[in-house]
Amino acid sequence: MEYKVMGPDSLNPNVKNTVNTLTGELFLRAFELQKEGKKIIFAHAGNPHALGQKPLTFPRQVMALCQAPFLMDNPHVGLLFPSDAIARAKEYLAMNPGGVGASSVAKGILGVRQEIADFILERDGYPSDPETIFLTDGTSSGVQKVLNLLIRNEKDGIMVPIPKYPLYSAAISLFGGTLVPYYLSEEANWQLDFTDLQKSILAARREGITVQGLVLINPGNPTSQCLTEADLKGLIELCIKETLVLLVDEVYQQNIYQDDHPFISARKVLMDMGQPTSSTLELISFHSASKGFLGECGQRGGYFELTNIHPKTVDELYKVASISVGNVSGQILMGLMVKPPRPGTVSYPRYAAESQSILDSLRLKAHIMTDGFNESENVICNFTEGALFCFPQVKLPEAAIAAAQEAGKAPDLFYCLKLLEATGLLTVPGSGGYDQKEGTFHIRATILPAEEDMPRIMDSFKKFNNDFMCQFRDSDNILPRL
């Protein structure tokens, strides 16, 4: 048949130019192998529950009661639900007349926004106004609303850290703007490189791009570093000097696996800098219950907080938010994340034990995985300071690069395909949406596989990598062991 209107050649080129990293050859092959009976370890995406992480009991008890408020009229409810979960569900139901089935105001339920403001005050020591907080269906939805407002045409540029999280490139492409890359310094543990940042701004301007905003991801994704206070301060000063809105993605702020670089919010650093700086930077901060240590990717709840944003711009954001109605139970989940059970309550001991156990296990797995990569020939990996990922560099021998070119594949994709075939471990190559410095090759893997499987996974990785390096060893090009 003919496809007269929506044929693939006549679609919006902004959509066609958008790259989807999750539909390529590697993923199709993984599903094929799975069908053939091979056990696949889906370490390609930060989807914790799919990899066996159990939901936290208390938030899910409250969510269940909000779904079925009639349970609270049942005399047996106390046999299945603790009293504080019941009390909390009643609080949320009272905040939104009609409960989870009734749409809320476009900014989200006021009571939840107040819980978030309280959390920000406790975290940073500076008050937050619930009217500057918008609840979203996760960060991807919030980022899209903001970029939709910020990008007017292809001459508007948004700076994005490389290696990058593909959400940002996809959304910029979708709205027809220009991605302006800045490179993180792998040698310096993926911290910022201010010389490169400045160069990147100048280069973009020379091409006629109006650089509008800068995206920072802290802790990094896929790079997992926690930024130092000094770097954050430097970045804020740069954004003010260069007139950029700072968009800061802090969705992994509670997933920290070391004590040298604690998480510190961009907003706190800004406020610490005092007047007039603290009221000069236009800052938008994102957080999410669909990420973080709750890891509820399938439930969509997040927020962004606006600092120093013009009130009329807030109204325009409200308009965009009104068009895409959000889900109310995700809002409640976000509230439960920022206001967990306090010490002394019925559910506190269990909540504390469960969340500590998740974070302890992630910390252990960050070590096992980073160490495993670093023990592998020609592989070097910065320690996963936070978030959910390892992003090791694999120094591919010339012979492997040549073999990849012969096969018509990017060298890192070639490596990931071989890894998948040999071990069932599904990772993503740096070239598959993350990007990397020219001539370097990386893979991204989540630290999410089960703790008990992790040693075996890293052993099989090491064995595969050893075989691979042997196969393609270039006698005149042997790299030093790390």
Question: At which residue do the structure tokens 């709750």 appear?
Answer: 294
Near a copy of itself by CB under 8 A: residue from 128, 132, 141, 178 = 141
Which stretch, 33-41, 43-51, 249-257, 261-269, contacts a copy of itself (CB under 8 A)? Answer: 43-51
Check residue 244 for interaction with a copy of itself (CB under 8 A): yes
Q: Which amino acid is at 368?
A: I
Nearer to a copy of itself, 125 or 298 (CB): 298
CB of 1 to a copy of itself, least distance (A): 5
Nearer to a copy of itself, 152 or 456 (CB): 152
Q: Which of residues 309-348 bind a copy of itself (CB under 8 A)?
A: 309-310, 312-313, 315-316, 318-320, 322-330
Check residue 48 for interaction with a copy of itself (CB under 8 A): yes
CB of 298 to a copy of itself, least distance (A): 4
Check residue 11 for interaction with a copy of itself (CB under 8 A): yes
Q: Which of residues 204-223 bind a copy of itself (CB under 8 A)?
A: 212-213
Gap between the terminal Cα atoms of the chain: 59
Strand-pairing partners, residue 214, are 159, 246
Nearer to a copy of itself, 265 or 327 (CB): 327
Check residue 123 for interaction with a copy of itself (CB under 8 A): no
Helices (H), 43-165: 57-67, 77-80, 83-95, 110-124, 139-150
Task: Determine the Cα–Cα distance for residues 277 and 174; give it in Å rounded to an integer.
Answer: 33
Strand-pairing partners, residue 390, are 445
Are residues 444 and 44 in contact, defined by beta-carbon separation less than 8 angstroms?
yes
Task: Determine the Cα–Cα distance for residues 72 and 99; give it in Å rounded to an integer.
Answer: 14
User: What does each C-alpha distance from 347 to 50, 83, 169 come to in angstroms?
Assistant: 25, 9, 41
Nearer to a copy of itself, 290 or 378 (CB): 290
Q: Which of residues 144-183 bind a copy of itself (CB under 8 A)?
A: 144, 148-152, 167, 170-171, 174-175
Near a copy of itself by CB under 8 A: residue from 223, 290, 370, 423 = 290
Nearer to a copy of itself, 56 or 381 (CB): 56
Task: Determine the Cα–Cα distance for residues 3 and 6; give it in Å rounded to an integer.
Answer: 6
Which stretch, 228-236, 243-251, 371-379, 380-388, contacts a copy of itself (CB under 8 A)? Answer: 243-251
Which stretch, 230-238, 276-284, 348-356, 397-405, contacts a copy of itself (CB under 8 A)? Answer: 276-284
Check residue 3 for interaction with a copy of itself (CB under 8 A): yes
Q: Are strands 379-380 and 393-394 parallel, antiparallel or unpaired?
A: antiparallel
Helices (H), 280-327: 311-323
Check residue 295 for interaction with a copy of itself (CB under 8 A): yes
Task: Determine the Cα–Cα distance for residues 248 and 267; give it in Å rounded to an integer.
Answer: 9
Check residue 361 for interaction with a copy of itself (CB under 8 A): no
Nearer to a copy of itself, 212 or 382 (CB): 212
Task: Determine the Cα–Cα distance for residues 282 and 308; give it in Å rounded to an integer.
Answer: 5
CB of 100 to a copy of itself, least distance (A): 5
Near a copy of itself by CB under 8 A: residue from 279, 357, 405, 477 = 279
Near a copy of itself by CB under 8 A: residue from 35, 36, 70, 343 = 70
Nearer to a copy of itself, 4 or 481 (CB): 4
Are residues 114 and 108 in contact, defined by beta-carbon separation less than 8 angstroms?
no
- How many residues bind a copy of itself, per CB under 8 A? 100
Which stretch, 100-108, 363-371, 463-471, 473-481, contacts a copy of itself (CB under 8 A)? Answer: 100-108
Check residue 49 for interaction with a copy of itself (CB under 8 A): yes
> Residue 249 corresponds to which tokens in the numbers above?
């993605």
CB of 323 to a copy of itself, least distance (A): 5
Near a copy of itself by CB under 8 A: residue from 262, 298, 349, 455 = 298
Nearer to a copy of itself, 308 or 345 (CB): 308
Element (H, E) at 203: helix 194-206
Task: Determine the Cα–Cα distance for residues 459 and 481; give it in Å rounded to an integer.
Answer: 18
Task: Determine the Cα–Cα distance for residues 70 and 51; give it in Å rounded to an integer.
Answer: 33
Are residues 448 and 390 in contact, defined by beta-carbon separation less than 8 angstroms?
no
Instruction: Please give the biggest Cα pair distance in the chain.
Output: 78
**Strands of the 428-429 sheet, one edge to the other:** 389-390, 443-446, 428-429
CB of 53 to a copy of itself, least distance (A): 8
DSSP category for residue 30? H
